[in-house]
Structure 1
Amino acid sequence: MGSFSIWHWLIVLLIVVMVFGTKKLKNLGSDLGSAVKGFKDGMKDGSSEDKPVAPPQQVTSAAAAEKTTIDVEAKHKS
């Protein structure tokens, strides 16, 4: 009794077709397929937008850095 045989599934399928009809089942299948496709596209687009972008870093030469550096203790000693 733990598992269903193929005959159980065929009877269930027959009852579902009789209740809903083939046209509604076809529409349901296409709607489900488009929903899954939309979900996959959304996940694909969302993964590229969620990646963190590193801020641009300033590149300065050592000579330019030495010109703008101020020794605070040297001003206080004078």
Structure 2
Amino acid sequence: MDGIELSPKIEREAAKLLAQISRADSMILAAKAGARAEGFVLGLEAVGALNDSTIDKLYVIFDSATEDRLRALAPT
């Protein structure tokens, strides 16, 4: 999460969510982990915990990680 200023607690949770996405061993688990991460960011946005720019960056990070994992798991 380079270039994003997060509190240590939010950063730990975000890192856990990214790890869940990256180690998902099926497309369903990857999609669920991605949805969980999106919900996390939505919650942060709803309570005004971070500025809009940081929220947008988090959405992009989690979306990209989910898409990458889904591509990696897709049958060839």
Q: TM-score range by the shorter chain?
A: 0.3 to 0.5
* Structure 2 length-normalised TM: 0.37
* Structure 1 length-normalised TM: 0.36
The one of the two structures with greater contact order (alpha-carbon pairs below 8 A, sep at least 6) is: 2
